[in-house]
Structure 1
Amino acid sequence: MSPIELTAEHPGILRVATYNIHKGVQGLGPARRLEIHNLGLAVEQLDADIVCLQEVRKMNHKEAAYFKRWPRVPQAEYLAPEGYAAVYRTNAYTRHGEHGNALLTRWPVVGHQHEDISDHRFEQRGLLHVEVEVQGRCVHAIVVHLGLIPGSRVRQVERLQRFIAREVPMGAPLVVAGDFNDWGLQIKHMLAGFGLYEYDDAPQAFTYPARLPLVQLDHVYVRGLTPLSLQVPRGRIWWRMSDHLPLIAEFRL
Structure 2
Amino acid sequence: MKKGVVCLLLSMFLVIVFSSSVAATGKGKEVNLKVMSFNIHHGEGLDGELDIKRTAKVMKDTGAEIIGIQEVDRFYGDRSDFQDQARKLANLLGYHYVFGANLNLEPETSNKNRQYGTAVLSKYPIIDSENIHLSSFGNEQRGLLRTKINVKGIHVHFYNTHLGLNVAERLAQIAEINEVKSSFSGPSVLVGDLNAEPDSKELQSLLQEGNLVDVFANEDESNTFPVINPTKRIDYILTSPSVYHLDSQVIYTEASDHLPIVADIVITR
Q: TM-score, normalised by structure 1?
A: 0.85
CA RMSD of aligned residues (A): 2.2
Alignment partner of 1:107 is 2:124: yes
Alignment partner of 1:225 is 2:243: yes
2:145 partner SS: strand
Structure 1: runs of 5+ lacking an equivalent = 65-69
Alignment partner of 1:158 is 2:175: yes
Counterpart residue number, 1:98: 115
> Percent of counterpart pairs with the same letter?
27
Counterpart residue number, 1:67: none
1:63 partner SS: helix
Say how many residue pairs are matched: 232
Structure 2: runs of 5+ lacking an equivalent = 1-22, 109-113
Deviations 1:201-227 (A, max 9, x none): 222211100122111110000013112
Residues of 2 paired with 1:55 and 1:118: CA distance?
18
Counterpart residue number, 1:190: 205
The answer as to whether partners of 2:248 and 2:262 remain within 8 angstroms in 1 is: yes
The answer as to whether partners of 2:25 and 2:152 remain within 8 angstroms in 1 is: no
Alignment partner of 1:37 is 2:53: yes
Residues of 2 paired with 1:61 and 1:20: CA distance?
18
Counterpart residue number, 1:87: 98
* Cα offset, 1:62, TM superposition: 2.9
The answer as to whether partners of 2:37 and 2:262 remain within 8 angstroms in 1 is: yes
Which of 121, 125, 128 is matched with 2:138 structurally? Answer: 121
Counterpart residue number, 2:62: 46
Alignment partner of 1:13 is 2:28: no
Counterpart residue number, 2:188: 174
Give the aligned residue type for 2:207: A
* Cα offset, 1:7, TM superposition: 4.9
Residues of 2 paired with 1:77 and 1:5: CA distance?
30
Indicate how the Cα distance of structure 1 residues 23 and 247 shifts in structure 2: closer, same or farther if over 3 A, else same. same
The answer as to whether partners of 1:86 and 1:105 remain within 8 angstroms in 2 is: yes
Counterpart residue number, 1:146: 163
Which protein shows a greater Rg?
2
1:245 partner SS: coil
Indicate how the Cα distance of structure 1 residues 77 and 124 shifts in structure 2: closer, same or farther if over 3 A, else same. same
Residues of 2 paired with 1:45 and 1:135: CA distance?
22
Counterpart residue number, 1:23: 42
183-192 vs 213-222, which moves further: 183-192
The answer as to whether partners of 1:43 and 1:79 remain within 8 angstroms in 2 is: no
* Cα offset, 1:37, TM superposition: 2.2
Which of 69, 84, 87 is matched with 1:74 structurally? Answer: 84
1:111 partner SS: strand
Residues of 1 paired with 2:25 and 2:171: CA distance?
38
Residues of 1 paired with 2:25 and 2:64: CA distance?
11
